[in-house]
A and B are shown apart, each in its own frame.
Chain A
Amino acid sequence: MTDENKQKGTMHPFSRLTNQAYQAFSDMGFEIAIGPELENDWYNFYVLNFSKDHPALDMQDTFWIKNGKHPGSAVLRTHTTTVTARAIEQAGKAGRMPCAFISIGKVFRNEATDITHEMQFFQIDGVMVGEDISLADLKGVLTLFYKKMLGENVEIEFRPSFFPFTEPSIEVFAKFKGKWLEMMGAGMLHPNVLRNIGLDPAKVQGFAFGGGLDRIAMIKWGIPDVRLFYQGDLRLNQF
């Protein structure tokens, strides 16, 4: 009955989710950005207004690379904000303002693994910069995004938070099947970040957001353990 040459393969759940997310943001005018997994500490931390003594720089969170070309300066990126930061820097230099970028990619955190923590996971990160981009725009964009990912009935809300690279900073929650769930961190880009990438905070402002794609997958499909994603096990490809 089955001709083995005609059987089509299935994709990893992340590929499917990545495509959907990119499509959702492309529809809203974002450009896809992709960047290196091995980063220097400038783009991973300092450009984002982390100070040298920030706890995130502690050994337990970050994978620093041994004996790199520039010892101590190379890290496995801890977020894909590195990519979007590079992208707006480039856009600024090329005079492409306003601009909007979205990046999905693998990130790394040096922590013990359990059902909700992995040393590698996927992050979705986005920015929009322009003369009058506001927190209200962020809310609109993320509401539409989560509706497309999790269904029309989804609501989102903002709660107070703190990140060195955003001011104000907020935590994004989504209401899915009657429960409020923490989805991502976000906020308005800190003026120091804009300055660090060569933009003038008196002229432009923008929002940034970032969160785990793994988490969206787990919530959307009810996947119980984050470690299932990287076993190379085809029983995972159910979607």
Chain B
Amino acid sequence: MKISYNWLKQYIPKAPDANKLVDIFNYHLCEVETAEKKLDGDVIFDLKILPNRAHDLLSHQGVARELASLLNIKYVDPTPKYKIPESKSTNLLIEIKIDKCPRYMGRIIRSVKVGSSPDWVVKHLESIGQRSINNIVDAANIVMFDCGQPTHAFDLDKIKGGIMVRDAQAGEEIVTLDNKEIKLKNFHLVIADSKNVLALAGIKGGKIAEVDENTKNIIIEVANFDPMSVRKTAQALNIFTDARKRFENNLSPELGSYAMRELSALIFEMCPGAIFEDIVDTYPKKQKEKKLSFSANRISDILGLDVSVTTIKDILKRYNFTYDLVVGVPLGTPTTKFLMTVPPMRLDLEIEEDMAEEMARILGYDKIKGNIPKISFKPKQNETYAKICWAKNRLLSDGYFEVMTYTFCDKGEVEVQNSASDKKFLRTNLTDGLKESSKLNQLNALFLGINQVKIFEIGTIFKKTGEEMHIAYGDKKEIKETTLEEFVLENSSSKEHGYFSAEKFLVLAPSRFQVSFKEDFLLQKKNKNSSLKPLLFQMWSLFPFIARDIAVWVPENVKSSEVKNIIKKNMGDMVIRGPELFDEFKKGNQISYAFRLVFQSYDRTLTDIEVNENMIKITNKIKENNDWQVR
């Protein structure tokens, strides 16, 4: 939801500066996705209003009211300033035919003049990324972004008879304001006159009764629709509108009265010659008053923070929440319970836990200090995890490298209904993925510095009969796959097998597990004491590498490190691996050292020619030593 700072300030003139507000939002209300500074000094916040507050915070007034209470600053109520002329009697008929419309308010306004909007309206709309259309449509939009209630205006002269809220009949049609023809189904909720469907209730208006430049008389609609029904209809038709977003989050029908007043005043401001008729308010499902009971003790217990009765009283006062205090003496000690009347707009407040969240959010979660709980619980060994660890350690020490591959593939026994990718099946084995992985890693064997690519994966596979935990391992010649159970059964001794259900499996599988920890610890220690860089991922180059070997005969008293140093000094800056001594043997009083170098660039494909140049440079340097010889 885009919220303009200047717009907010109309209601809370004492609002802190925009930078401070960003923190206040993030820590006490909801995430600020962006805060964009405008040339005219305004700041536009894009707020990620949380779903449980979407019914009262998708509006400037809603956010301003919340901030006023949160920060204990003045909220300027705009309603006394609204000017609406005395209304005349009306013959507008409104009929609600179904139970999915708790309230429908309508009002005829005659002799309006459709034209452009005043500057402030255009500016308000543009500040939050909306386009000005004409004064009547703009007025309806301003009301929605200001108080949160979607409204609509129909051209009265294009309507036959009264207004009806009903389910569509299968086969009926509507052309929406954006010129889309829609065939309706019987669960779609619509607004209709005696002949035609005029609008998709709470979602989008129709072309038939559109307000245009020739419109003289209008009906304004301020209604409340069942959230599930709006959502179902909009979803089926794949229509996303600001109205839908608000209705599907459940608005309070009480909001209607405010919105009707605001919309009427706005239209009067834009069309001073307009004649207002009486409001027709059909309100079959009046919102019931809700009471909520909670105690300071319980809230403190949930939060792990002492929240006193006084603190709660102060917050309730700031939020204009009315309450009674009920003092009970259940076990001799008096306890104070709050019995609060939930304001109609706060549909999210239902249970004591909701009030715990209110208190924590308003006070700030930083007030809660961490505590390590001590509980009397005896954890059991997880047998599956113990087996996974055992199998992993077994294969790692046998020289197998672990990989993970995708669960999705293009054929199998279990299929997903819909997917963002073209791979709609779940794997029936690990072997297929492992084969691909093996091919890829063969190509990089020299880069990786491994002689033989041996890999494994432990993971879930999916068959018609259900899922199974499998293990697959192998090399380029052969891959073996079996269930984890079988693998463990076949490869472990009976004594080892008993450990899987033992109390503490760390006794069983210490090797890899604890070594990693020690390594980490040592590394961290090292980093503290020296300026070594922390352990960080090194992204590989996407260009091909070239590997070269060089073997040198030297007198037997020459150490390999001497040869290595000369290679290092002359190999250039494209070596990403090596020189690595991979072979040495003695013959007479001479010794041969063989080194491997891997060349690769991060920004281009290296050519044989440039790598050869480097190799020649190394060879020449080595030859400068009389009794050294490159093989």
Query: What is A's interface to B at a CB cutoff of 8 Å?
Result: 1-2, 4-12, 14-16, 19-20, 22-23, 26, 28-34, 36-38, 53, 58-60, 63-67, 76, 96, 98-100, 106, 108, 110-113, 119-120, 128, 130, 132-137, 139-144, 151, 157-162, 167-171, 188, 190-191, 205, 221-224, 229-235, 237-239
Given A65-B416, A168-B302, verify A12-B403 contact (CB < 8 Å). Answer: yes
B372 and A144 form a contact (CB under 8 A): yes
List residues of B (568-585) whose CB comes within 8 Å of A's CBs. 581-584
Q: How far is the CA of A151 from the CA of B53 in the complex (A)?
A: 36
List residues of B (405-454) whose CB comes within 8 Å of A's CBs. 405-408, 414-421, 426, 433-434, 436-437, 440-441, 444, 447-448, 450-454
Tell me, rounded to whole Å, the shortest Cβ–Cβ distance linking A66 to chain B. 4
Given A137-B371, A237-B402, verify A1-B353 contact (CB < 8 Å). Answer: no
Any A CB within 8 A of the CB of B29? yes
Query: Which stretch of B138-146, B264-272, B334-342, B391-399 is in the interface?
Result: B391-399
Query: What is B's interface to A at a CB cutoff of 8 Å?
Result: 26-31, 50-53, 227-228, 231-232, 235, 301-305, 351, 353-354, 356-357, 360-361, 365-366, 368-377, 379-380, 382, 384-385, 389, 392, 395-408, 414-421, 426, 433-434, 436-437, 440-441, 444, 447-448, 450-457, 459-460, 462, 466-467, 512-513, 516-517, 520, 524, 535-540, 581-584
Main secondary structure of the interface of B (DSSP, over half): mixed
Tell me, rounded to whole Å, the shortest Cβ–Cβ distance linking A113 to chain B. 7
B353 and A188 form a contact (CB under 8 A): yes
A20 and B408 form a contact (CB under 8 A): no
A232 and B454 form a contact (CB under 8 A): no
The 6 closest A-B pairs by CB, nearest first: A136-B304, A232-B437, A134-B304, A168-B357, A31-B379, A140-B370
Tell me, rounded to whole Å, the shortest Cβ–Cβ distance linking A197 to chain B. 16
Q: How far is the CA of A169 from the CA of B356 in the complex (A)?
A: 10
A selection of 22 A-B contacts at a CB cut-off of 8 Å is A1-B582, A7-B450, A10-B402, A29-B377, A31-B380, A38-B414, A60-B420, A63-B416, A63-B417, A65-B417, A76-B426, A100-B377, A111-B420, A113-B420, A113-B421, A134-B301, A136-B303, A159-B27, A160-B365, A168-B302, A231-B440, A233-B440
Given A2-B451, A221-B537, A229-B404, verify A98-B416 contact (CB < 8 Å). Answer: no
Q: Nearest chain-A residue to B445 (Cβ)?
A: A234
Q: Nearest chain-B residue to A205 (Cβ)?
A: B302
In addition to A15-B402, A34-B385, A99-B377, 11 A-B residue pairs with Cβ atoms within 8 Å of each other are A2-B582, A15-B392, A36-B467, A38-B466, A64-B418, A113-B421, A136-B370, A229-B404, A230-B405, A232-B440, A235-B447
Tell me, rounded to whole Å, the shortest Cβ–Cβ distance linking B294 to chain A. 12
Tell me, rounded to whole Å, the shortest Cβ–Cβ distance linking A238 to chain B. 6
B370: which of A38, A143, A167 is its contact (CB, 8 Å)?
A143
Q: How far is the CA of A132 from the CA of B191 in the complex (A)?
A: 52
Q: How far is the CA of A10 from the CA of B392 in the complex (A)?
A: 10
Q: Nearest chain-A residue to B369 (Cβ)?
A: A136
- Chain B residues lying within 8 Å of A190, measured Cβ to Cβ, are 353
Q: Nearest chain-A residue to B374 (Cβ)?
A: A29
Q: Nearest chain-B residue to A151 (Cβ)?
A: B524
A139 and B399 form a contact (CB under 8 A): no
Given A53-B228, A65-B414, A108-B407, verify A167-B371 contact (CB < 8 Å). Answer: no
Given A32-B382, A37-B460, A96-B377, verify A168-B361 contact (CB < 8 Å). Answer: yes
B366: which of A157, A169, A191 is its contact (CB, 8 Å)?
A157
A120 and B406 form a contact (CB under 8 A): yes
A38 and B462 form a contact (CB under 8 A): yes
Q: How far is the CA of A112 from the CA of B454 in the complex (A)?
A: 32
- Chain A residues lying within 8 Å of B380, measured Cβ to Cβ, are 31
- Chain B residues lying within 8 Å of A11, measured Cβ to Cβ, are 392, 396, 401-402, 512
A140 and B371 form a contact (CB under 8 A): yes
Q: Nearest chain-B residue to A14 (Cβ)?
A: B404
